[in-house]
Structure 1
Amino acid sequence: MRLFHTSDWHLGQNLHGQDRDFEHGCFLEWLLRQLKLDQPDVLLIAGDIFDTVNPPVKAQERLYDFIVGAHEQQPSLTIVMIAGNHDSGSRIELPAPLMRRLRTHALGRVLWLDDGQLDAERLLLPLPDASGDIRAWCLALPFLRPAEVTGAQLGDNYLRGIGQVHEWLISAANAKRTPGQALIAISHAHMAGGSVSEDSERSLIIGNAEALPASLFGSTISYVALGHLHKPQKVNGEERIRYSGSPIPLSFSEINYQHQILDVKLDGETLLSVEPKLIPRAVNLQRIGPAPLAEILLQLAELPNTDLLEDLQRQPWLEVRVRLDEPQPDLRYQVETALQGKAVRLVRIAAEYAGTGRNDGADDNATLIELDQLSPQELFSRAWQDNYGSEVDEQTLKDFAELLQDVQMEREQP
């Protein structure tokens, strides 16, 4: 059996106000070509399909056009996609009855039966090969929100609740499969030891308290397809537990990532190989600085000029970081003047004041730390510090997390 593993598409994302639809379109066209060329049995999309719980219409059209296109060119392909922490679980599941006709399974949340037991049946999906024989079972674990895995049956400990869900689901999968059928898990979670991007991954709960141990996925699981962390990586060096990473750089901290999908091959229950397929970058991200203004202006002057025949949609996104001794009211004017006729698109100017440790922006939307880089918990902690002059206590943070969870669940209702 052959599987493609991808995640963290973040359809509808923008980079400091700039739309990324062209880049996502290029990636999805490339992925369709790879599916046609290699004919895998299964495509796994491990969450954060959209960038927000209420994605723009264009982003939703991208997803559904891709699913239809994939099914039309390869009718035997099975697609499994789960909701991530950026997604609305109910929105992901809303078109599920229709998508099943396209051999696509969409899982956004876990549900519980009247007797308090996990509804494991809906989370266990058969994975047939091109001939229709079931070669594996998929354990679909969308992002598990605290309200879904705590309560009367599971108690109030979030990590313990997650552990119980994994235990019950793996037990149900082992009972269902026959010898020779592999178990494949797909999950959106922060695993302990994972390498986090500097400014593009939203904390799931509070800090790293929600990081999950790899031991949740026992040796009966042949492969674990993870989403959430944007850097492709193995978890604790294990070949079978992988993050595929995001398909495009979602922030300037991801410039040096080798964005990829993973090509997974199995023989029965045995994992044969996991090979990356590198994704061509449709638009480069370019960062200049931090450096003094005079040096920055020289570097900008050396940038290539625009070719009249060049596709403007493929010009790099540019971030400029300037070190200053004192405020420069005309900083943006100087930078933009230096960039006239250059083959780049300026999206951000950030100023760093030497000797003060203070960072500021060239305009209201261009500070070194953007609001969208801070989690709600970090913003709350900073506001608490500013108002009360002390660190927020752990219980207050927990109360805030519960309130935030209630608000997020209300927003997710379609």
Structure 2
Amino acid sequence: MIRVLHTGDWHIGQTLRGFLREHEHARVFDALVALVEEREPDALVMAGDVFDSQNPSGEAQRLFYETLVRLHQARPAMTIVVTAGNHDAAGRLEAPRALLDAIGVHVVGNVRRPGGAIDLSRHLVPIRKDGAVAGHVLGVSYPTAACLPGLTAGRVRDEAGSPIVRAVRDLYAALHEAARPELAGLPYIVTGHLHVAGGLESEGAERRILVGGEHAVPPDVFPEDADYVALGHLHRAQEVGRPIVRYSGSLIPLSATELAYRHGVSLVTIGDGPARTEHVVIDRPVLFLRLPEAGDMALGELGDRLAALDLDPGLPVEARPFLQIRLARAGLPAGYRAEVDRIAERFPVRVVDVRVASVDAPSPDLAPVGGPMVRLAERDPEDLFRMAFLQTHGVEPAAPHLDVFHRARAGA
């Protein structure tokens, strides 16, 4: 029997409307180290999106490597497997591989096929317990086009069905077939960083990432022999299709739409019957609040509601709560967003999302284009950006797009 701690989507280096998240990441990594000390897992699997950017800052990289060392020190016998996500530069992540191997950390980047055959040593990681191999992790990173040989634009357009899904299925089949002789009936964990059909997305925080514009793969692309499939990419902890196919979710809310999630990690026990999964919630280091808690409010109520929070005015910036504000449209003045900022700056909060209800609906995410006439000056610029992006690209803007928008707006 082995215990595996499944986590993912750390997004180290992320900013939320210009606010750094380093303080929160440091605190949740403290909690992760404490959890390893308490639960004594045999392996930790990080299923992609280590960083928020393919070119992470020095501070983000320092925090990542310090966390790996702390995890190793907390439980030296624990195997650590880290896979690259769509936000990561796989080559950069793999670069210090020789050093990381020395502390039991195995980094899995792009698929390598020297001489045409898959280099299994880069993907199949043994889990050791009491000096013996007790299980295996088949590490698979985000499947880039380079990982899916044989794809061409013609195939994507012309073949019936989905050649992208077929290529992903073939990739997992090839990896599993290469690994099969090594498994010896021991617990077997497979990883993935992609959108599996049926998984619930976070609006504005995750994007469709498969090559060829494909959205999702079915849960049956993974080997039937797997005891557990550890997924990354979606930020809500959830199972998809089968109890053993699971997203652990992110460690902190990465957008205002994740306010209601119970962020944490999955602790998986394998080897004495079907895999058993426990979702372990990690307390948020910083509050993430919605005003009002339900419905919407008049702008004139904002000051009183902020005062009712009774927050310590001496809170440092990094510890101040994030705030999503929902406003009723009726009576909302032109330039209301500047007024929101003016009111909020008297309180120790960080406003990261302001949404306005339409006249016809209690609290939609965006006012409908065909609704009652509204002057341009009365529209939140972020709402206009979201609508323009959706009209142009057919999908909602993701968190990186919104971050660029807010930086451009702040510099205007």
Question: For the superposition of Structure 1 and Structure 2, which TM-score range results when normalised by the shorter chain?
Answer: 0.7 to 0.9
2:200 is matched with which residue? Answer: 195
1:197, 1:253 within 8 Å by CA — same for their partners in 2? yes
Q: Which residue of 2 aligns with 1:39?
A: 40
Structure 1, unmatched stretches of 5+, are 383-414
1:127 aligns with 2:131: no
- Listed one character per residue, the Cα deviations across residues 56-80 of structure 1 (whole Å, up to 9, x for unaligned) are 1111111100011112232111100
Q: Does 1:357 align with 2:354?
A: no
Secondary structure of the 1:367 match is helix
Q: Which runs of 5+ in 2 are unaligned?
A: 157-162, 361-366, 396-412
Farther off after superposition, 141-150 or 201-210: 201-210
Deviates more, 1:50-59 or 1:169-178: 169-178
In structure 2, C-alpha distance between the alignment counterparts of 1:362 and 1:30, rounded to whole Å = 45
Q: Which secondary structure state, in structure 1, belongs to the residue aligned with residue 81 of structure 2? A: strand
Deviation at 1:242, TM superposition (A): 0.7
Give the CA deviation at 1:29: 0.6
Q: Which one of the candidate residues 267, 272, 275 is aligned to 2:271?
A: 267
* TM-superposed deviation, 1:111: 1.5
Match of 2:243 in 1: 239
1:277 partner amino acid: V
Cα distance, 1:335 vs structure 2: 2.2
**Counterpart secondary structure, 1:170:** helix
**What is the CA-CA distance between 1:202 and the residue it aligns to?**
1.6
AA in 2 matched with 1:165: L
Larger mean CA deviation between 56-65 and 203-212 belongs to 203-212
How far residue 322 of structure 1 moved from its aligned partner, in angstroms, is 2.9
Please state whether the residue corresponding to 2:347 is helix, strand or coil.
coil
Give the TM-score of the pair, scaled to structure 1: 0.81
For residue 37 of structure 1, what is the amino acid of its counterpart? E
Give the 3 Å change call, closer, same or farther, for CA 301–91 of structure 1 in structure 2: closer
The one-letter amino acid of 1:90's match is G
User: How far apart are the structure 2 equivalents of 1:369 and 1:48?
Assistant: 29
Question: SS of the residue aligned with 1:291?
Answer: coil
| 2:235 maps to amino acid | H
- Give the C-alpha shift of residue 343 in structure 1: 3.6
Task: Name the SS of the counterpart of 1:66 in structure 2.
Answer: helix
**Please, which of 178, 182, 186 is the counterpart of residue 187 of structure 2?**
182
Conserved? CA contact 2:313–2:348, under 8 Å: no
**1:288, 1:373 → 2: CA distance?**
26
Give the Cα–Cα distance (whole angstroms) in 2 for the partners of residues 360 and 250 of structure 1: 32
Q: CA deviation at 1:218?
A: 3.3
Note closer, same or farther for the CA distance 1:331–1:63 as it changes in structure 2 (3 Å cut): same
Q: Does 1:18 align with 2:19?
A: yes
Other structure's SS at 2:309 match: coil
1:8 equivalent in alignment to 2:23: no
The match for 2:138 is 139
Q: Which residue is equivalent to 2:333?
A: 328
Distance in 1 (alpha carbons) for counterparts of 2:200 and 2:344: 35
CA contact (8 A) 1:4 1:263 kept: yes
Deviation of 1:208 (Å): 7.8
CA contact (8 A) 1:120 1:168 kept: no
Q: What is the DSSP-based 3-state SS (H/G/I as helix, E as strand, rest coil) of the residue aligned with 1:10?
A: coil
Mapped to 2, the partners of 1:84 and 1:373 lie a distance apart of: 28
Is the CA contact (8 Å cut-off) linking 1:159 and 1:210 kept in structure 2?
Answer: no
Alignment check: 8 A CA contact 1:163 1:216 kept: yes
* Structure-2 change in CA distance of 1:312 and 1:306 (3 Å): farther
CA–CA distance in structure 2, aligned partners of residues 44 and 128 of structure 1: 14
**What is the percentage of aligned positions where both structures have the same residue?**
30
Find the residue that maps to 1:212 and give its secondary structure.
Answer: coil
Q: CA deviation at 1:286?
A: 1.8
The one-letter code matched in structure 2 to 1:219 is E
**1:160/1:255 CA distance change after superposition, 3 Å:** same
CA distance in 2, matches of 1:119, 1:93: 15
Q: What TM-score results when the alignment is normalised by the length of structure 2? A: 0.82
Amino acid at match of 1:335: V
Deviations 1:144-192 (A, max 9, x none): 0123203279x7622221111111111122211223x121101111111
Q: Is the 8 A contact 2:299 2:328 kept in 1?
A: no
Separation of aligned partners in 2, 1:372 and 1:102: 48
**Native 8 Å contact 1:202 1:374 kept in 2:** no
Instruction: Give the aligned length.
Output: 375
Whether the 8 Å CA contact 1:263–1:276 is kept in 2: the answer is yes
How big is the alpha-carbon RMSD for the aligned residues of Structure 1 and Structure 2?
3.1
Secondary structure of 1:4 counterpart: strand
